[in-house]
């Protein structure tokens, strides 16, 4: 069993229905499905921490916007949660909105449960940044929480800024303002600038693909039901790489 604040919140969200929460989330095969008890703990911690901190960030500016609610519900839809499971996720979201939410304890327990799985902590950060950016702005309260989380997980300020830049680019790429990915967004998504040479572009692409590979993330503790989030991320990375290659091919022919 998962103890600490994460275990307490998970228990409060699902009560005695652990088969509904931990053992049957989404596809009735369980979070771990043969991966092992230690990974199952990480998956439970990831799910609990994700939705509770999501609520905390949404409330950081004093009120929860409709866009923040929509994005949280969209993530729940992607997980194919049944009514009871969705109720549990909503409970965690509401726990995070409380003024006495133990952010420091929650983040530190999650860091410990991750056992240096930096890819998982990065995925967690990306989800939280997406929530913070969902209303189009990043206010001081949201920024303070995100920076605190990054510090807790051991990310440098440069690494945090890179995550923020990539998520801003991804949000813009999905804003519906263009039919194809803008070149500026493509470079930002790969975490590089337009001055990078072809070898550097390929290296950045491979690094991002390795960090967000769905199978690798699941094996490290990402709940299987969250694989769709990773799949979307991988598709955006591929689209960005192809956009850059196509533009450079066009320039070389001139």
How far apart CA 137 and CA 133 sit, in angstroms, is 6
How far apart CA 52 and CA 93 sit, in angstroms, is 5
How far apart CA 58 and CA 64 sit, in angstroms, is 5
Both tokens of 22, joined, read: 């931990």
How far apart CA 189 and CA 162 sit, in angstroms, is 9
Q: What is the pLDDT of residue 38?
A: 75
Q: How many CB atoms lie within 10 A of CB 42?
A: 25
Within 13 Å, how many C-alpha atoms sit on residue 1's CB side?
Answer: 10
DSSP code at position 43: H
- Residue range of the domain that includes 115: 4-253
* Domains held by the chain: number: 1
Cα Dmax for the chain = 67
Q: What is the pLDDT of residue 33?
A: 38
How far apart CA 22 and CA 36 sit, in angstroms, is 13
Q: What is the pLDDT of residue 63?
A: 79
Q: What is the pLDDT of residue 70?
A: 83
Q: What are phi and psi of 115, to 5 degrees?
A: 50, 55
Residue-level pLDDT, tens digit, the chain, 254 residues = 688 999 999 999 987 554 444 444 434 334 433 344 577 888 889 989 999 999 999 899 787 878 888 878 887 777 767 788 888 999 999 999 999 999 999 999 999 999 888 989 999 999 999 888 887 889 899 999 999 999 999 999 999 999 999 999 888 887 755 556 889 999 999 999 999 999 999 999 999 999 888 888 877 777 776 777 788 889 999 999 999 999 988 877 66
């Amino acid at each position: 069993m998962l103890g600490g604040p994460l275990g307490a919140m998970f228990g409060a969200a699902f009560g005695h229905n652990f088969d509904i929460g931990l053992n049957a989330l989404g596809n009735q095969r369980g979070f771990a499905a043969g991966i092992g008890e230690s990974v199952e703990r990480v998956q439970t911690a990831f799910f609990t921490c994700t939705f509770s901190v999501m609520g905390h960030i949404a409330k950081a500016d004093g009120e929860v916007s409709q866009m923040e609610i929509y994005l949280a519900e969209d993530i729940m839809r992607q997980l194919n949660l049944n009514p009871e499971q969705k109720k549990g996720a909503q409970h965690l979201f509401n726990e995070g909105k409380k003024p006495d939410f133990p952010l420091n304890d929650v983040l530190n327990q999650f860091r410990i449960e991750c056992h240096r799985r930096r890819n998982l902590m990065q995925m967690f950060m990306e989800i939280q940044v997406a929530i913070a950016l969902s209303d189009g702005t990043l206010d001081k309260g949201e920024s303070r929480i995100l920076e605190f989380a990054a510090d807790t997980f051991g990310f440098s300020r440069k690494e945090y800024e890179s995550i923020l830049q990539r998520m801003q680019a991804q949000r813009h790429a999905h804003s519906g303002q263009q039919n194809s990915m803008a070149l500026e967004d493509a470079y930002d998504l790969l975490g590089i600038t337009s001055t990078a040479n072809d070898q550097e572009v390929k290296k950045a692409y491979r690094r991002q693909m390795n960090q967000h590979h769905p199978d690798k993330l699941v094996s490290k503790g990402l709940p299987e039901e969250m694989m769709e989030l990773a799949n979307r991320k991988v598709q955006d990375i591929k689209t960005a790489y192809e956009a850059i290659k196509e533009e450079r091919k066009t320039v070389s022919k001139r």
